[in-house]
Amino acid sequence: MLNSFGKRLKQLREERGMTTRDFAHTADIAYSQVWTLESGKGDPTLTTLIAISRALDVSLAEILPEQL
């Protein structure tokens, strides 16, 4: 599941033309956390998921994998 989430996060970020650093700044999360999530090695908290969805201007459903 984490790998699917990470791939989706990276896809959405890149579709918006954001670098990892730009995205981290916009979402107000650490650059290293973005890298960890995109590489499928981290588990985001609900607070982080909300920050990500706001920064990408998408719903939580759009960033979470279909199969949880």
Confidence (pLDDT) at 2:
66
- Residue ranges per structural domain of the chain: 2-63
Biggest CA-to-CA distance, the chain: 29
At residue 1, the pLDDT reads 62
Give pLDDT, residue 3.
85
Q: What is the mean pLDDT of each run of 10 residues along the chain (68 residues)?
A: 86 96 97 95 94 96 77
**Distance (Å, whole) CA 17 – CA 64:** 20
- Report the predicted TM-score, pTM, of the whole model to 2 decimal places: 0.88
> What is 2-63's CATH topology?
434 Repressor (Amino-terminal Domain) (1.10.260)
Q: What is the structure's pLDDT at 66?
A: 72
pLDDT at 65 (0 to 100):
74
Reference 44, options 56, 14, 16; nearest CA is: 56
Q: Do 44 and 15 meet the contact criterion of CB atoms below 8 Å apart?
A: no
